[in-house]
Amino acid sequence: MGLKVERWCQITWIIVCLFLSSLVEASDTYDHDSLDTFLCKHANRAIGKPRTGAFYNISLPGNFTGIDISVVRLRTVSFWLRGVNYSFFNIPKRVVPQPNRKRMAILYENLGNWSSHYYNVPNYTMLAPVFGIIPYTSSETTLIDCEKMNLIIQGKPIRIQFPHIRPHAKNVTPICVKFGADGSVKFRNMIKPYVCEAKSEGHYTIVVPTTKSHTQNLSKGFKFNIWWVLGFVICFVGLFVLVLVLIIVVKVVKRRKIRKMEKNSEKGEAFDTFWIGETKVPFASIRRTQPVLENDDVPS
């Protein structure tokens, strides 16, 4: 019996722990800092012998289908002298990367359909994917060291041309957005249709104010439902544990009582006993006190 109760305790704990750890993982999945770190490390592993000045498209594991990244390694001097143009990004000359190193690498990110998983602007709708431009330190032997660099831009800013803009209402003007490392969101007007200026490295996109519509209400209802279900599951697990503890307590108390009764009965007269269910019931033997006849004169 004791073993069984312990088993149940163990099983319950395992269930609770698994449940809690899955919650923690779920909240960790869409952390954009860890995404940057993952992409950087992956890019470093993907290219064996990188050539300086060459652009590489990095293919990602299947679970990241939809994200595009490219990388280039440069001599810091040539970056400062010439700037660098690649795909939708135009970095002018005279941009100073910090800390000061001989080599650097630039990671270009297009988060594609993953954008809204990692970044969000409350009350605004993203019209384009989130684009990232992130400089890292580099060395002769490794493509990227994954130590982030800052860009000091005093002259012309970086320009980002956003392609694949989602259709939007004609009477609203889209706005550029910069996502800060601290989770902040900064707005800035476009300089040309779908062209944003960037005064630092980081992640950018284009948004319009969200108009209240049915779809939004639907998605809000959906979110509410998810929390409701989560709360329900937590309550259920809590209740399960509570009931289990109660059962254990009741069993232990019961067993103690029975043991006490047994001990008492053993100390007292040695009754013969029989069982009814789990309870020992004493009964007096018929033969305990033999009837003694007064005299031997038995009528035959």
Coil, strand, or helix at residue 92? coil
Q: Decide if 157 contacts 94 (C-beta within 8 A).
A: no
Rounded to whole angstroms, the Cα distance separating 288 from 286 reads: 6
Give the H or E element holding residue 125: strand 124-126
Return the number of the residue (122 or 277) whose C-beta is nearest ligand NAG: 122
Q: Which of 45, 51, 82, 186 binds ligand NAG (CB under 6 A)?
A: 82
Return the number of the residue (10 or 85) whose C-beta is nearest ligand NAG: 85
Q: Which of 20, 23, 31, 66 binds ligand NAG (CB under 6 A)?
A: 66
Q: Which of 12, 52, 78, 90 binds ligand NAG (CB under 6 A)?
A: 90
Residue 29 C-beta-side C-alpha neighbours within 13 Å: 10
| Interactions with ligand NAG, residue window 97-156 (CB under 6 A) | 113-114, 117, 122-123
Taking CB under 6 A as the rule, does residue 209 contact ligand NAG?
Answer: no
Q: Using alpha carbons, list the distances in angstroms from residue 53 to 58, 71, 76, 201.
A: 15, 10, 11, 19
Total binding residues for ligand NAG by CB under 6 A?
19
Coil, strand, or helix at residue 235? helix
Max Cα distance, the chain (Å): 139
Taking CB under 6 A as the rule, does residue 85 contact ligand NAG?
Answer: yes
| Interactions with ligand NAG, residue window 23-62 (CB under 6 A) | 29, 55, 57, 61
Q: How far is the CB of 61 from ligand NAG (least distance, A)?
A: 4
Q: How far is the CB of 130 from ligand NAG (least distance, A)?
A: 13
55, with CB counted inside 10 A (0-12, 13-18, 19+), is: middle
Binding window for ligand NAG (CB under 6 A); candidates: 78-86, 148-156, 170-178, 245-253:
78-86
Q: How far is the CB of 127 from ligand NAG (least distance, A)?
A: 17
Buried b (16+ CB within 10 A) or exposed e, 152-175: ebeeebbbbebeeeeebeeeeebb
| Interactions with ligand NAG, residue window 220-279 (CB under 6 A) | none
* Residue ranges that bind ligand NAG, judged by CB under 6 A: 29, 55, 57, 61, 63, 65-66, 68, 70, 82-85, 90, 113-114, 117, 122-123
